[in-house]
Amino acid sequence: MAHFPKPAEGSWTEHLKIDTEPVSYADSITPEHYELERDAIFRRTWLNVGRVEQLPKAGSYFTKELDAARTSVIVVRNLKGEVRAFHNVCRHRGNKLVWNEFPREETSGFCRQFTCKYHAWRYDLDGALTFVQQESEFFDLDKADYGLVAVQCEVWEGFVFVNLDAGNTTPLRDYLGKFGKGIEGYPFHKLTQVHKYRAEIGSNWKLFIDAFAEFYHAPILHSGQYTPDEARKIQKYGYEALAYDVDGPHGLVSSWGGIAPPNDRKMVKPIEGALRSGLFGPWDAPDIGLEELPPSINATRNPLWGMDSFVFFPNFMLLIWKPNWVLTYHYWPTSYNTHIFEGTAYFVPPKNAFQRLQQELAAVSFKEYGLQDGNTLEATQTMLESGTVTDFPLNDQEVLLRHLHRTALQYVRDHQERTAATAS
C-alpha cells in the first residue's frame, strides 16, 4: 500500500544504514543509565536554550535550568550587543546568582549588573566581578580572579545555544551539520508572535522525542481531530513520510501536507472550517518574503509537502510548516523517568482579530493533541520499567527512533571510553 516511493534499498532504515533488529529500551528505564547520559550527552553537546528575541537590548537576560547538565545558566546581552552565557553561581559562596522567589524556577528581565541576594557581590554583563561587600575583610582577593564562569554560547539563525563542555572545539554551525546549513535563510526573525507551553511529563526524555519523531501514531491516537468517517478512512490509509534523512546525530522526517487546507471540507471540524485553521496551522499562509525555501526544507521539493521535522540531537526539534509557521519542541530531563516538555509556536504577528483566532486554534490544537501524547508516554514508561518485555519491533516509519537511541548510546559509550582512558 505504498503511497510514496522508498529508496532503492527497499526501506528508509536500510537506506540510512541502520539495523532492523528489535530495539531495547534499557536506555530509558534506569537511574544509572540516566546518570551516564547527563555527563555523556547533556554536558557535552550544544543545547538550544532560547531565541534572541528574548534578549531585545543590552542588559536583557534570562535563566535556564539545565538539571540534566547539573547546572543553571544565565544568558544575557552585553553592552556590545553580544549574547553571552554564564553558570548561574556566585563566586563567593556558591549561591545561585539570579532567581526570583523560587530558586528552581526560571526567570528573565533586564538589569545593568547582577547582584547576589546573599552578600551583594556584583557582576557586570560580561561576568566581571565589580563589587565585593567589605572587600578589605578578604585575604589578598583579586576581583579579576572571581568573575562568573563563562559557558560557550553561540547563536544560529536567532536560536541561542550553550555548550557546557569547556573543552568543546566544535563550533555550533558545524555541530548542526548539513540540516543546519540547509535551513539558513529561513526568516525566523519574522515569526515573533509566540505561544509557549510547558508540561511535566512522566517518561524518559527520549520517549517523547520518539513520539514526535514518527507520525505512525497520528491516525490512531489523534483520530479525534477528524470526523468519525474521515478518521476511519485515514486509519486505513495509515501514515507514510515523504522522506527521512540523518546527518551525524541529527534526523529529519519530511511529511506530506495533511489538512492545511484540506482537499475535502468534510475532513475538518466546524471550528476549523469557520477559522480556516487547525493542527497544521492557519490555511492562509502569510507572506514571509521567501521566493524559494532553503535547500534542507522540503529537500525533495515534493509538491505534496506539508511539514519538516528536524531532530537536532539531543533535545531540540524544529518543525517548519508549509503555511509559514514554526513549532519547536524541547525535552529537558529531570530524572530517568521524568522530563519537562516545552512546545513553542511561532507565527507572523497577526494583522487582525481573525488571524489572531486562526493562530489560537493552531496553538490550542497542538496542546489538545499534546495532552494525549503526554499521558500515553507515562503509560509506556511504567510498562517499560516493569521489564516484562525487553525487545520491541520498530517499523520503517520509526527509523528516527532507532537513530536517536543508537546515537544516545554511542555518546554514552564514547564517554565511558574516555573516562576509562583517563582513569587508567
Partner 1 sequence: MPNVLPPDFADLEPFADWAIPTERARYAKRVASTMDELQAFYDAAFPRLQAATGYLEELSLDDIAEDEKRLLWLFCALVTVAFPVEAWRQPRVPDSGAASIDAVVEPAI
Residues found near partner 1 in the complex (CB under 8 A): 193-201, 224-225, 269-271, 274-275, 341, 343-344, 350-357, 360-361, 363-364, 367-368, 370-372, 374-376, 378
Q: Which is nearer to partner 1, 146 or 354 (CB)?
A: 354
The residue among 88 and 277 lying less far from partner 1, judged by its C-beta, is 277
Q: Closer to partner 1 at the Cβ: 247 or 360?
A: 360
Single out the residue of 242, 81, 65, 252 nearest to residue 176, CA to CA. Answer: 252
Q: Please work out, in degrees rounded to the nearest 5, the angle formed at the alpha carbon of residue 10 by the alpha carbons of 316 and 392.
A: 55
* Least Å from the CB of residue 328 to partner 1: 12
375/395 with CB nearer partner 1: 375
Distance CA 347, CA 30 (A): 39
Which residue, 335 or 375, has its beta carbon nearer to partner 1?
A: 375
DSSP structure string for 246-308: EETTEEEEEEE-TTSS-SSGGGS-HHHHHHT--TT--SSPPP-S-SS--TTTTTT--TTEEEE
Which residues lie closer than 8 Å to 33 by C-beta, 6 or more apart?
Answer: 26, 27, 336, 412
115: left (phi over 0), alpha (psi -120 to 50) or beta: beta
Residues 122 and 115: beta-carbon distance below 8 Å? yes
Q: Report in angstroms how near the CB of residue 282 gets to partner 1 at its nearest.
A: 12
- CA gap 12, 397 in Å, rounded: 8
> Closest approach of Cβ 65 to partner 1, in Å?
13
Give the shortest CB-345-to-partner 1 separation in angstroms. Answer: 10
357, three cell numbers = 483566532
Least Å distance, CB 332 to partner 1, is: 13
Say if residues 129 and 64 touch (Cβ distance below 8 Å): no
User: Quick one: 114 or 205, whose CB is closer to partner 1?
Assistant: 205
Nearest-approach distance from CB 269 to partner 1, in angstroms: 4
Q: Which residues neighbour 145 within 8 Å (Cβ) at sequence distance 6 or greater?
A: none
Q: Dihedrals φ, ψ of 287, to 5°?
A: -75, 125
Question: Which residue's CB is nearer to partner 1, number 349 or number 387?
Answer: 349
Q: Which is nearer to partner 1, 51 or 96 (CB)?
A: 51
- In angstroms, what is the minimal distance from the CB of 366 to partner 1? 9
Work out the number of other CB atoms within 10 angstroms of the CB of residue 108. Answer: 15
Rounded-to-integer distance, Cα 258 and Cα 254, Å: 12
CA distances from 167 to 115, 173, 416 (A): 29, 17, 17
Q: Which is nearer to partner 1, 13 or 60 (CB)?
A: 60
Q: Which is closer to partner 1, CB of 378 or CB of 385?
A: 378
| 247 Cβ contact list (under 8 Å, min separation 6) | 177, 178, 179
* Strand, coil or helix: 11: coil
Minimal distance in Å, beta carbon 230 to partner 1?
12
Q: How far is the CB of 197 from partner 1 (least distance, A)?
A: 5
Rounded to the nearest whole angstrom, what is the least distance from the CB of residue 112 to partner 1 in the complex?
Answer: 25
